[in-house]
Amino acid sequence: MTSPDSHVRPLGGVRVVEVSSFVATPLCGLTLAQLGAEVIRVDPIGGAADVNRWPLTDDGTTSIYWTGLNKGKKSVTADLRSPDGQALVQRLVTESGSGGGILVTNAGGRDWMSHDTLAALRPDVITLELLGGSDGTPAVDYTVNAGLGFPLITGPLDHDGPVNHVLPAWDVVCGLYAALAITAAVRHREQTGVGSRIRLPLADTALSIAGTLGYLTEPQVNSQSRPATGNDVYGTYGTDVVTADGDRFMLVALTGRHFRDLVRITGTEAVVDSLQQSLGVDFSAESDRFTHRAVLNALFGKWFADHSTDEVAAALAGSSVLSQRYRSFDEVVASGELARNPLFAELDQPGIGRYLAAGLPASFDGQQYFVGPAVPLGADTP
C-alpha cells in the first residue's frame, strides 16, 4: 500500500526516532510518517507494554491496535537498560543527517535520552517529551478526563454518576499536537539552526481544549459550569429521535433554515407558530430553540415515532437538516463506504491479512498519502 507520489511529501527528508507506547506518541509518529518522515520506533526487547494490547486478531496472535498505530515505521528493539542499548538510541537520534536529530517519547525522565544529554552530542537536537499530568506525574486519558469534568455531564440525564468516553479523545488530540509541534520545531531549526526542547503534558492538552471551548471559562465568568444535556446539543437544537422501526437518528438544526425544514417535514408549522406566540419566543434564534427543546422534542418526536426508518431517511435526505442514523462499526464496514472513499486503500498487514486502512485524512493537491504496513517488532534492528 503506497502512494503514487508525484512530488516529495511535506516532511520528506525528516527523520524521527520514537520511543513510545500506547496512543498519543505512536499517533504522533504515524502522522509524521504519513507526511513523509522516516520514523523509527524503538522498543525494549520483546516490545513495550502496548505490543499485545486489544483488540487482537481472532487467533490472539497479533494486536490490531499496535499494527494500526505503527504503520509505515521502522522497528528497532534494544535493551534500554543497558549502556549498549542506550548508546544505540543516542546514535539513531544524533548521528543522522540534517533532517534527523529528532526524538519523540513518552518514556521521559531518563538522563541518557534527556534533551541536555542529546544536545551535548548534537546541539540542534529536537526533543518532544509527552507527559501525563501538568506536573509530570503519571496520567492517562481516562484519568485526565475524570479530573476535568466531562464525565459528569456525559450520558443520560437519568443516570446518577459519571460516564466515561469510549474514544481516547485527549490522547488523539495530544498526538496531533505533538506532530504539529515537531513540524514547527523543524521549521524553526531550518530558519535558525537551533533545536528545541518541547514539553507536552496530556493534561495540559485537555485543559487547553476545555478552556478554548468555554467549559472552563463558564465557571469563571458565570459562576457555574455547563449542565448535562444528555443527547441534546448544548446551546442549539439537536437531539436524537426514534423511528417506528426502533432505529435512532441524530438531528441537528444549527440554523434557521435547518429548523424550518425540520418543521416542514414533520408537518408541525401551525403548532410551532402557536408555540412561539404563546411562549413569546422566536425559534429562529438558537437560544430559544435550546431553551424550549423539551417541548420541541416531544412535538417532533411523535412524527418520527409514527414513520418507518426508510420514510424518515427519505424525508431527511430531501431537507437541509443535519442528520445521521446511528450505526454500529459493523454496519459502517458492511455499507461498502470504505471502499468508495479514497481515504482508504487495501493494506496487506502481516499477522492480520488484507483490509482497508485509512491514510492521512488531509489530501495535498488531490493526492492521498498512505504508508505501508507495520513491520514485525525489531525488524530493523542493526
- C-alpha dist (Å) from residue 60 to 44, 55, 352: 21, 9, 11
DSSP symbols for 97-140: -TT--EEEES----GGGSHHHHHHH-TT-EEEEEESSTTS----
DSSP 3-state of 16: strand
How many CB atoms neighbour CB 290 within 10 A?
17
Q: How far is the C-alpha of 353 from the C-alpha of 355, rounded, in Å?
A: 7
Q: Beta-carbon neighbour count of residue 211 at 10 Å?
A: 12
**In angstroms, rounded to a whole number, what is the distance separating the alpha carbons of residues 268 and 279?**
16
The full length of the chain comes to 382
> Do 40 and 76 form a contact (C-beta atoms < 8 A)?
yes
Residue 173 corresponds to which cell in the numbers above?
488530540
Is residue 171 annotated as a catalytic residue, yes or no? yes
DSSP letters of 233-247? Answer: PTTSEEEEEE-TTS-
- Residue 147 neighbours by CB under 8 Å, 6+ apart: 203
Query: Which residue matches cell numbers 402557536?
Result: 274
Catalytic pick from 43, 141, 171, 232? 171
Q: Considering only the C-alpha atoms of the chain, give the largest distance between any 2 of them, rounded to a whole number of Å.
A: 79
For residues 101 and 115, the answer to whether their CB atoms sit within 8 Å is: no
Residues 6+ apart with CB under 8 A from 136: 108, 109, 201
Residue 213 exposure: Cα atoms within 13 Å on the Cβ side: 11
Residue with cell 422534542: 297
CA distance 75 to 68: 14
Q: Which of 371, 37, 7 is nearest to 179 (CA)?
A: 37
Cβ–Cβ < 8 Å for 195, 178 = no
Mind telling me the catalytic residues?
Answer: 171
